[in-house]
Amino acid sequence: MNYVGVKLGKRSVFKSERNPTKSSHGHIYDYCIGPFQSIEAAEYMSGPGYLQFWCITPNDAERLVGGAVARAEEVEEITEDWCAA
């Protein structure tokens, strides 16, 4: 699973097979956010979604990123159709 670790206000995305705890990750991070199903959602939460009222939980980030991915795929498909014509 993917997580966002925060240390002194700096956010970084990391993978962990088990839930981070104070004993396993406390020496690296002040606190962790997650788990996230996708790396894209974790990156969104660590960047533009951080501390935004519309992106509070990992599920919010997954939903917001999922919509962006779907729109990007739709644009790519439209572009391919247009170029083929």
* pLDDT tens profile 22-80: 999 999 999 999 999 999 999 999 987 777 788 888 999 998 888 555 454 554 554 45
Counting Cα atoms < 13 Å in the Cβ hemisphere of 85 gives 6
What's the pLDDT at 43?
93
What pTM was computed for the model?
A: 0.72
Q: Pairing state of beta strands 2-7 and 31-36?
A: antiparallel
What's the pLDDT at 80?
53
